[in-house]
Structure 1
Amino acid sequence: MNDQAKLGIFAGILLIGFILIGAVSASVILTGSKNISEEDLNKITNEVVDEICSYLQIKHIVGKYQTIQGEEKIQKIAILIKPLVSQDIDVSRMTIELSNGEQLRLLFYNGLAESLNFHSLFEHPLWDSVTPGTFSLLSTIDDDNSIITSHVINKNTDMTFILLKLPDDIAMKYGDELRVTILPSPGMGRTVTLESPLSTKHVVTLYE
């Protein structure tokens, strides 16, 4: 797909997105719903804009509780991403920003990428190489193996987990929030806010 075709598709997606935003706003105004506050409407609008303006889609985020300094906290987080359209996204130039309101950390790609294959996600050997200041990739769909060999996501069918291990001091206990921003270069960032849920299970969904 050439650059003009990509631009056309992206422009079409933007147009549809802004139409949806207008439709949601108009619906709230016309119905006069008392259940949706201005803050809720702004949040919905921001989420839609964030989704359609980002080169990346976040499909799913899961975390795993483990005992850290006597408390159950989420330290391992896996973020499943895919590109919005077919394009070259150089993961080696990507950074991830973490903020819990008190601290802000930047994570950088450590150059390690493997395939999930038949491994259990949180028991994959690649986790042993993930340090609190870095992230790795665990591909799930990668027809040409570009993620592993070239560290490039280049098709809209590509999907990969970003593996990150939180430092002990910002690992998430029940009720904690963490703002995660994926910053590709070039491209617009993608931000989500995670909240650790109360759960009797070790593996929990943080975003879907």
Structure 2
Amino acid sequence: MEVQTRLQGLLLAALFAALTFVGAQIRLPMVPISFTLQVLFVLLSGNLLGSRLGGLSQLLYLFIGLAGLPVFAGGGGLGIILSPSFGYLCAFPVAAFVAGKNFPVARVEMNNNHHRGKILVSVLLRNCFAISVIYVIGATYLYFIQNLYWRVNFSLHQVLWFGILIFLPGDLLKAVLAALITERLTFKNHDKKLDFLNFFLYTIY
């Protein structure tokens, strides 16, 4: 039973690694970072799978890309390390872990109408904190890779604008959307419950 549970967890982690790849392909080219839907699936991986599996799914995504498969918005392979966007990719496992914090409690209490609003707000706040983690790690890497490696005169003002502010409205929208999706997939409404884990595992089996 324990082996089966671990296998199910790995399957779900692989699923969200694949979904993050799909999100990377839906992009709007911008300078120097592309706007994609990756962050939405990073947040959902933590919200729906929890810290451990959510973080694992993003580590898997990162390793697959570094191994050479073109799963990132900018392709794949070790060369992506020199990309301005690599810091954001490195932040994905940490962000998923943060977004999945207190996952078991949230799933239980989400099924209680009294706690529904409180847990929804809690998930949203965790998502916003997870996004801030992505910004801190990603923008820091962006500044140093541009100035120290590429020798581009990239000011802190440019980092703030091109690395954070230009993406902030869209990412906040993704945080809200991820929280709402999580609520819909885990909340018991009039004795009808769509449990994401059980629903997906039932589908594949």
- Normalising by structure 2, what TM-score? 0.28
Q: Would you tell me which structure has more strand in proportion to its own residues?
A: 1
Pick 1 or 2: higher relative contact order, CA cutoff 8 A, min separation 6.
1
Q: Would you tell me which structure has more helix in proportion to its own residues?
A: 2
